[in-house]
Structures are given as C-alpha cells and as structure tokens.
C-alpha cells in the first residue's frame, strides 16, 4: 500500500502541471486581461485600479501627448489604448508581470506554487492566501454540512427503500426523490427566500451572511444556534439534488447486493435480517457510494456553491473564483484552480484508502495506477 500511495502522490505532480499549463495557455488567448481592464477604467475616468502603481499616477501618463508611431504600437497590442503613453503601458505590464515571456512566467508560477507562494491579488490590496483564508469559512460550512446532511439522510433512506422495494413507501419516496432531483437548487433557493426569509410570507430566517452582526457578543450556545440559523436555508437548497442522487445510488447498490448468492446463503444459515443487511450487504454496497464521495464533497465545497452563495449573499470561494475570472485577477484564478485541483486529487486518494478500510479484500497494490 505504501508503494501505491507513493505512486499516486508522484502522479499528482504532472497532473497539476498539466491542469495549470492548459489553463495558462487558454488565458494567453482569451480576450481581455488585467492591462485591458486598467485601460478600460482609465478611459472611463476611473483610476482606482491603478492606484497601486509606483511612480507617477495613471492620470499623468494618460494626459501626456503621444507621437503617432508610439500610439499605433500600443494600440496594436491593447484594445482601447489610444491616447495612453507607451511607457505607462510598459509599467502596467511590469506591474502584472507581463513584461516577461510566457514560458518564463509559467515556470516562475510553478516554482512559486511549489512553495505555496501565490503572490498578491491584482486588484485587491491583499495576498492571495489571505484572501482565500478569508473566504474559506463560508465554503467549509456549506460543503461540509451539506455533504454530511445529504449522506446522513440518503444512506438510511436508500437502505429502507431497497428493503421495502415495491411497497407504498418505496413508491412515494421515489416520487419525492425524483421531483427533488428535477428542481434546480438555485430555483429552490429563491422559493425558500420567498417563503421563509421575508419574501412574501414568513420572515423566519436571515437573508444574508453566515452569522449575525452581534455574533461576537453572544454566548457559545447562542453562537451555535445563530450559525445554523443562517445556514438552514442555503444547506436545504444545496442538499436537494445531492440528497436525491445519493438515495437512489444507495438503493440500487443495495438491491444489487441483496440479490447475490452470498446473501441467500447467509439467510439460510439462520442469520437475522439485520445481521445480513448491516454485517454483510452494507459493507459491499457502500463501495459505490464511497466512490462518489470525493466528487460530491469537492463539488459542494467549491463550484456547487456558486449560485447559492450569490443568492444568499455568502462570500465564499465559489463566488471569489467567479469574480476573479470575470475581473481577470489571474493570481486568484490560478491559485484557486491549483488548490481546488490539489484537494480533488488528495480526496481521491483518501477515497481509495477508504475502499481498503471498508473491504480489506481490495488491493490497489497489485494493480497499475
């Protein structure tokens, strides 16, 4: 097992490099960029984006008279650069690191990321690490509790449906599960706001934030209640589709195992139904559910929370990544991509190790990675 873990860890290196390389190449050909964003803000008389530039101010550069040749050279590289001093454009390129060749920039990025040095945000006066840590509590809260909630309900419900297959309970719960799967999470979130967050009916739950403004002044029991009070609606909206998927997956997995010969043999030996289900079937049936855990966790932790964060005004990593892409804040974009990818690979390895814990018969050591 140690050799298998080592191989998987070593394979993470080219995987991460490949992900970053593809993303880096796409960014090189994508229209727009941080330099273009600053130019657009200057053309709109907004100089705040260049306030971190050293030396003369952006307005001083923009107000200088240019000769036609220099202006044409700048305009050919950046849209909307007419009327700006080429020296100012070069200073912007140095500011954002675009004065170096692409290959050198990519190599420098890999070296920095190897040391977990993600640099500074282009348009926020904060380091990328501090920015991510600032948004992390929201994403951890949504991802962790949503995963625990969906698995905690779905697995027992899936087992109950498998045991009672074809009964009225199975039919009605299947109808509820299918309807829940068909409803988009963001649409259900809007419905919850209308019903329970002061929309048109009840005003029982808060509409924004992870805690109340006076959270620091509350006692610890009151803080816990306040925390889950704010999380109730977002978690309910996020867990709807995940709850349905995991329930049906558990049910079908149990049905496949229940019909196998070893279950019939166990029953013929006089074992109780509970012993058969949870002593033999459960361990084998849960393998496929465990296989889906990394994807469910990573999806809930990051990308799956984007719309929910937007609707409930929760400033987490999903919203940060989206805003960074739209704002061309490349240090934040690549840092979040690197962290998300690394966590996905690590959680995938943990999932494989969980296989061996649930069923010791599985041996990854004997197969190629």
201-221 in b/e form (b: 16+ CB < 10 A) is eeeebbeeebbbeeeeeeeee
- The token pair at 139 is 């994403």
Q: So what's the pLDDT on residue 17? A: 93
Q: Which of 60, 56, 62, 58 is nearest to 48 (CA)?
A: 58
Strand partners, 203: 197
- How many Å from the N-terminal Cα to the C-terminal Cα in the chain? 12
Residues 205, 108: Cα–Cα separation, whole Å: 48
DSSP 57-115: -HHHHHTS---HHHHHHHHHHSTT-TTS-HHHHHHHHHHHTTTS-HHHHHHHHHHHHHT
Quickly state the pLDDT bin for 16 (edges 50, 70, 90).
very high
Note whether 128 and 120 are within 8 A (CB).
Answer: yes
Quickly state the pLDDT bin for 358 (edges 50, 70, 90).
low
Q: What are phi and psi of 344, to 5 degrees?
A: -60, -40
Tokens 């855990």 sit on residue: 293
Lowest mean pLDDT, pick from 238-247, 252-261, 267-276, 356-365: 356-365
Q: So what's the pLDDT on residue 359? A: 65
Note whether 58 and 42 are within 8 A (CB).
Answer: yes
Q: Using a CB cutoff of 8 Å and minimum separation of 24, what contacts does 77-83 make?
A: 78/35, 78/36, 78/39, 79/36, 79/39, 80/36, 80/39, 80/40, 80/43, 81/39
- The token pair at 241 is 């589709």
How many other CB atoms sit within 10 Å of the CB of residue 51?
Answer: 10
The chain-wide mean pLDDT, for the chain, equals 78
CB-facing half-sphere around the CA of 350: CA atoms within 13 A = 12
How many other CB atoms sit within 10 Å of the CB of residue 325?
Answer: 16
Quickly state the pLDDT bin for 198 (edges 50, 70, 90).
confident
CB-facing half-sphere around the CA of 22: CA atoms within 13 A = 7
Provide CB contacts within 8 A for 124, sequence distance 6+. Answer: 131, 329, 332
How many other CB atoms sit within 10 Å of the CB of residue 354?
Answer: 16
**Burial class of 48 by CB neighbour count within 10 A (0 to 12, 13 to 18, 19+):** exposed
DSSP 8-state assignment for residue 310: H
Q: So what's the pLDDT on residue 369? A: 44
Q: Which of 289, 309, 176 is nearest to 237 (CA)?
A: 309
Q: Is the pTM of this model over 0.75?
A: no
Quickly state the pLDDT bin for 61 (edges 50, 70, 90).
very low
Residues 339, 312: Cα–Cα separation, whole Å: 25
User: Is the pLDDT assigned to residue 361 strictly greater than 70?
Assistant: no
Q: So what's the pLDDT on residue 262? A: 85
Quickly state the pLDDT bin for 273 (edges 50, 70, 90).
confident
DSSP 8-state assignment for residue 367: S
Residues 232, 49: Cα–Cα separation, whole Å: 38
Q: Which of 268-272, 303-307, 337-341, 347-351 has the highest mean pLDDT?
A: 337-341
Domains of the chain: 34-114 (no CATH), 128-366 (1.10.3720.10)
Q: What are phi and psi of 317, to 5 degrees?
A: -70, -35
pLDDT in tens, 233-254: 888 888 877 778 788 888 888 8
pLDDT in tens, 105-128: 899 999 999 988 888 888 888 889
DSSP 8-state assignment for residue 304: G
């Amino acid at each position: 097992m140690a050799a298998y873990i080592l191989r998987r860890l070593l394979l993470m290196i080219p995987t991460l490099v490949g992900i970053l390389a593809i993303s880096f190449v796409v960014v090189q050909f994508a229209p727009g960029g941080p330099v273009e964003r600053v130019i657009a803000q200057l053309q709109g008389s907004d100089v705040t984006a260049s306030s971190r530039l050293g030396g003369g101010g952006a307005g001083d550069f923009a107000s200088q008279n240019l000769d036609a040749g220099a202006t044409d050279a700048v305009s050919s590289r950046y849209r909307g650069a007419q009327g700006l001093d080429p020296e100012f454009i070069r200073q912007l390129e140095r500011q954002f690191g675009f004065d170096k060749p692409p290959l050198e920039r990519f190599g420098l990025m890999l070296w920095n990321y190897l040391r977990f040095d993600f640099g500074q945000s282009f348009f926020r006066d904060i380091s990328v690490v501090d920015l991510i840590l600032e948004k992390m509590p929201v994403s951890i809260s949504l991802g962790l509790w949503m995963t625990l909630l969906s698995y905690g309900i779905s697995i027992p419900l899936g087992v109950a449906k498998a045991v009672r297959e074809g009964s009225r309970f199975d039919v009605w719960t299947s109808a509820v599960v299918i309807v829940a799967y068909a409803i988009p999470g963001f649409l259900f979130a809007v419905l919850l706001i209308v019903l329970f967050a002061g929309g048109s009916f009840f005003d029982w739950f808060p509409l924004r934030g992870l805690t109340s403004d006076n959270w620091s002044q509350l006692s610890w029991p009151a803080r816990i209640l306040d925390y889950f009070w704010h999380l109730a609606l977002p978690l309910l909206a996020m867990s709807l589709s995940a709850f349905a998927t995991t329930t049906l997956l558990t049910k079908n997995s149990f049905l496949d195992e229940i019909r196998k010969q070893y279950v019939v043999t166990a029953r013929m030996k006089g074992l109780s139904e509970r012993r058969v289900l949870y002593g033999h079937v459960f361990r084998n049936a849960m393998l496929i559910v465990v296989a889906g855990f990394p994807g469910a966790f990573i999806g809930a932790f990051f990308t799956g929370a984007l719309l929910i964060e937007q609707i409930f005004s929760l400033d987490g990593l999903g919203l940060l990544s989206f805003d960074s892409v739209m704002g061309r804040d490349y240090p934040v974009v690549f840092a979040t991509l690197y962290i998300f990818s690394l966590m996905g690979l690590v959680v995938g390895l943990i999932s494989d190790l969980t296989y061996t814990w649930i069923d010791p018969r599985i041996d990854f050591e004997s197969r190629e990675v």
